[in-house]
A and B are shown apart, each in its own frame.
Chain A
Amino acid sequence: MREIQEAIGLTEDELYIILFTSLDHDNLNNLIVLAGEFTKWFNLNFEGESRDEIDFRENKCEIWVATGALAQVIIDGYSVLEKNHKDILTKYWWEHNRYLKFADQVGQKLQEQPDLMPELRELFRS
Chain B
Amino acid sequence: MKAFNQPGRWEKFFWPLLAATLLLSLWHYSVLWTATQVFPSPLSVEKGLAELLREHVLWSDIADSLRRVALGFGTAAALGIPLGLMLGWYPSANQVLNPVLQILRPISPIAWVPIAIVLFGVGDHAAVFLVFLGAFFPIMVACTSGVSTVPSIFRRAGRNFGLSTAQILARVVFPAALPQILVGLRMALGISWLVVVAAEMIAVDSGLGYLVIDSRNSGKRYDLVVAAMLLIGLIGLALDIGFRRLERIKSVRWGFDHES
| B is bound to A | no
Taking Cβ atoms with an 8 Å cutoff, the residues of B that contact A are none
Taking Cβ atoms with an 8 Å cutoff, the residues of A that contact B are none
